[in-house]
Amino acid sequence: MAGRIKRKKTRKQDDTTTSKARPFLIWGAVVVGIIALAALLFLSMRGPTPIADLMNFYGQERGHDNTVIYASDLPPVGGLHSEVWQNCGIYDEPIDAANAVHSMEHGAVWITYQPDLPQEEIATLQNLGRNENYLLLSPYPNLKSPVVLSAWGVQLEVDTVNDKRIKEFIKQYQQGPTTPERGASCRDGVGSPLQ
């Protein structure tokens, strides 16, 4: 009988120990949950990693002017533009910059390349743009860098078609944060892309 009493006491002591530890476990789990939630919120608010050598041209004027002419060895990244946008897609001839700017206003990324770029490098760029809905690809006369990526208010010059920043630029700026008319059409404008 003494053994039974002792067992009951031990069981009672175990129950007391467990019930005393239970609030600490619950509060510990709550604290860990709050810390995990705060970490997730912090990471989601940080945004994408900045792209090295990205040029910003924020505050571009917007409006339609069918007489606008751009004079630069770099494609425009905004400003006054044609009232008709360029149909997104791949082109093997230069396109009118005033139409391309209107497409960028709708969220397109415009990838331009030097006309004398080797054909295999042009093919690499074409493969990048093949499945993109808001992308223009075209040669651009007198371009000072082999490849220039432009979106509304931002631009990136790269020396090689294999530069990892090209994909990152497309990911961040196609229908990106600088797009004035996100979601507007990139079809039913002017131009007949190859694809």
In Å, what is the CA distance from 131 to each residue of 77, 120, 124, 163, 187? 23, 18, 13, 19, 14
Kindly state the average pLDDT of the residues 161-165.
96
pLDDT in tens, 6-21: 555 555 555 555 566 6
pLDDT tens string 84-131? 999 999 999 999 999 999 999 999 999 999 999 999 999 999 998 888
Q: Is the pLDDT of residue 53 over 60?
A: yes
Q: Strand ranges (DSSP E) for 33-104?
A: 55-56, 62-64, 79-81, 89-90
Q: Cα–Cα distance between 91 and 109 in angstroms, integer?
A: 14
Q: Determine the Cα–Cα distance for residues 133 and 135; give it in Å rounded to an integer.
A: 6
Is 177 strand, coil or helix?
Answer: coil
Tell me if 132 sits within 8 A of 176, measured CB to CB.
no
The answer to whether residues 109 and 153 touch, using CB atoms and an 8 Å cutoff, is no
pLDDT bracket for residue 64 (50, 70, 90):
confident
Tens digit of each residue's pLDDT (9 = 90 or more) over 16-52: 555 666 676 777 667 676 776 766 666 555 556 788 8
Which one-letter amino acid corresponds to residue 11? R
